[in-house]
Structure 1
């Protein structure tokens, strides 16, 4: 990086760090980096070098007095951002909540990649924690080793972090990260001791009925013979479960409640079972694991959660969980349900998505046709758009079906002011321009309403007064001989003749008001582009064409707008620029 470039980066870093510090009290590296990279996408290859500069500037700014920051504001002409009011929309007050004392959590099971539904489960407790200036926990509910894998822990961390950082940038909720990470399986020995307490109190017993019999007896409200086991016998069987004396599926620990309870979930629910599978973190250390009802109720109490949010499908389990807390004399907390999210025409459940991947219909969990978070990110949907969408949706208890069009509308508002525009010619046909002057260059705006983003110049090769371009076949269809058109950013021309595979134009010097504006790319500098459009979980369309020369500088991950076509994200580069179409 040259001295001139470094000075430019330092000035931007100082500007945005001061902005961030004045808005939130302390500057943070991530939002400063995000603003610089959005303003200077051409520096993406130097991100690590830029980050080191930003870290130094942020540290310096955070050590400054307010008067020093105000001097910099005056010197650099920094515009201060207004912090968005927190919780001002549809977010009702929490019951029994005190400012600074609220603790919420998200408790994902690491059994797959997060989806759009998980984003709501993440954002609702996070937003409330930040509204009440409390604490937010990420707790991995990893007590079913048969379906859990190490890669899922990492995916959840990475994708949840992206969403929360987006929430900080878009909603002004800081810090955009969880305050503590907890691995639930690290608490198994403590949960064992609580299980033994229940056995000793006569509140739990080991049942060796098979699963089919248990379901039948619970449905009929009939007690099984093991309910009358002595405490000593239950403790003996419990230790056999732990030590390997009983095979998987042949025993489980059940909570003793009321087998005639009107809520069937409350009829002696299972609270521990044997799972003979290696755990991704604990290995083969354990073979007995708690059920959801036991682990979530106990862990929320032990980790200080004051308000536990969960999808309303678990509402019948609330009574079970409160009963467990009562019998163990553990601290109680508020249990709050919110509505589930489904996406119109697209499966969210892993049990629907997994077969599509295994059959080869989908490429993987990051396929842009499905609403996994990684699929959405690959498609060009921003964390900011997802955060804003769920903030506006609110924590309603009503189930909601959302459309990808609604997500696209939010994403468009985020991208439209910041992404560069490029000319793209799908399904191209040759356009030959006669009478074209030597040395005439095109001047194309990078962004129609952002003068600060500048212009791109495109040189046109001219041989004997003839220039050769490509235009789209759709534009060709609407033209007729004698039409006057404007080649975007370049010149005016009249249509001389139209053939099946070529159009003949003639350059004219004057510019007329009624002309049609046509996109084009120079034939000798045309960049091959392939646009992949997700249509449904089962289908895509692929559109080929040419892009303007500057598209050669694009890198994977860049978000752009193809003029008159739509927003897209650069997916990969080979001999072709491969784009994933985001939306119009």
Structure 2
């Protein structure tokens, strides 16, 4: 059994390795995670949590210049481990292109573009420039209730794209194209690939978890078409019915089993051109799947956490006889200075006066960077050099500031 002193040394090793790697005092949670990976220590979490605090205080009182020296004394193998880890390749890998390259960046305009958004804007536009392709901005704005679009955000996205040197070749607004989604939904019903379901959410979940079909799944095409038309005409109340894509009810992943393609939303859309024109609204996986086909998208770059979306969408493509676009995945990027800030959280903080607006220098938006005087070339280069690796990465804005200084004083 490890003594308290043994555990403190172990904590110090991992804490110093983290400090050397990121050149800053580590977070307690990061060190705890490494230490608690040892099975024999998992029952001593309370004790270890206290010891981590003590060790971090000790390291905080050391000069950062001595961190690597101390780590080398305690655990030279951890220094070697840091040096052996392959640095991710910088820049964008070449593509094997056959025909016209068509790529899209598809934001929900429920807030302005963030620093994270700039990665999608820059990388997609850079590839289409390099291979003389087509770059599309598509506003996925078909949720007027939960992720309600902001009217100003449509302009903000296009303005920030232009500032980044990524002016799109085409702009598409999904809420303008609802009839196209209705047409595809009707075709899917006729092919036996979709059905109207009246199950309560919890009722369907219970059946789905047991890999059982609900009683609505077996209705014939004509009945489903009649019910679908009633959904469109507004005869059902909100949450009264949904249109589901018929998949594999025994699929190993419950999220794939007969997923919802359309739901009834009575909240008017903020765009006056749309307002209360429609009752049935497509969910993102349906709308995005149809749009990628209609727009002729040939390559999609999406987060590795969205592989379920591709699996769901492929059912539509199979029913319709369409070819699914090539897909690449990348890992998440976390900016040290901002942590986890959601658009909804920022909206609330702006409303209560914590921030002065979407261009407040303390918020992670492109507009805020512009207000701080960051040059677009610096942000563009910063995002290109991140590359397309699937490993999640954590970076500091210091790198962006360094790129900006190079432009000012090359």
SS state of the match for residue 309, structure 1?
strand
Does the C-alpha gap of structure 1 residues 253 and 398 become closer, same or farther in structure 2, counting only changes over 3 Å? same
Pairing of 1:27-426 with structure 2 (within 5 A): 90-95=91-96, 97-98=97-98, 101-146=100-145, 147-163=148-164, 165=165, 176-279=166-269, 280=271, 281-346=273-338, 347-416=340-409
Q: Distance in 2 between matches of 1:158 and 1:191?
A: 28
The TM-score with structure 2 as length reference comes to: 0.74
Runs of 4+ in 1 over 3 A off after TM superposition: none
SS state of the match for residue 342, structure 1?
strand
SS state of the match for residue 182, structure 1?
strand
The TM-score with structure 1 as length reference comes to: 0.52
SS state of the match for residue 181, structure 1?
strand
Larger radius of gyration: 1
Q: Distance in 2 between matches of 1:274 and 1:416?
A: 56
SS state of the match for residue 154, structure 1?
helix
For 1:179-232, what per-residue CA distance to the aligned partner results, in whole angstroms no more than 9, with x for missing partners?
111122222112111101111111111111122223333233221111112222
CA RMSD between the two structures? 1.7
Q: Which runs of 5+ in 2 are unaligned?
A: 1-88
Q: Which runs of 5+ in 1 are unaligned?
A: 1-87, 166-175, 418-584
Does the C-alpha gap of structure 1 residues 384 and 90 become closer, same or farther in structure 2, counting only changes over 3 Å? closer
Shift, 1:416, TM fit: 3.0
Shift, 1:149, TM fit: 2.5
Q: Distance in 2 between matches of 1:153 and 1:177?
A: 14
Shift, 1:116, TM fit: 0.5
Greater share of helix: 2
For the 8 Å contact 1:265–1:316, the answer to whether it is kept is yes
For the 8 Å contact 2:265–2:280, the answer to whether it is kept is yes
Q: Distance in 1 between matches of 2:210 and 2:342?
A: 31
Greater share of strand: 1
For the 8 Å contact 1:310–1:336, the answer to whether it is kept is yes
Q: Distance in 2 between matches of 1:333 and 1:161?
A: 26
Q: Distance in 1 between matches of 2:367 and 2:192?
A: 48
Pairing of 1:460-499 with structure 2 (within 5 A): none
Structure 2 residue aligned with 1:570? none
SS state of the match for residue 177, structure 2?
helix
Number of equivalences: 317
Q: Distance in 2 between matches of 1:121 and 1:412?
A: 24
Q: Distance in 2 between matches of 1:335 and 1:272?
A: 25
Q: Distance in 2 between matches of 1:226 and 1:153?
A: 39
For 1:275-315, what per-residue CA distance to the aligned partner results, in whole angstroms no more than 9, with x for missing partners?
11222142222121111111111111111111012222211
Shift, 1:89, TM fit: 5.7
Q: Which has the higher contact order (CA 8 A, sep 6+)?
A: 2
Does the C-alpha gap of structure 1 residues 406 and 220 become closer, same or farther in structure 2, counting only changes over 3 Å? farther
SS state of the match for residue 90, structure 1?
coil
Q: Distance in 2 between matches of 1:295 and 1:371?
A: 28
Shift, 1:270, TM fit: 0.6
Does the C-alpha gap of structure 1 residues 121 and 214 become closer, same or farther in structure 2, counting only changes over 3 Å? farther
Q: Distance in 1 between matches of 2:211 and 2:267?
A: 32
For 1:378-415, what per-residue CA distance to the aligned partner results, in whole angstroms no more than 9, with x for missing partners?
12222111101011111222222221212211111122
For the 8 Å contact 1:116–1:348, the answer to whether it is kept is no
SS state of the match for residue 407, structure 2?
helix
Q: Distance in 2 between matches of 1:90 and 1:384?
A: 15
For the 8 Å contact 1:265–1:317, the answer to whether it is kept is no
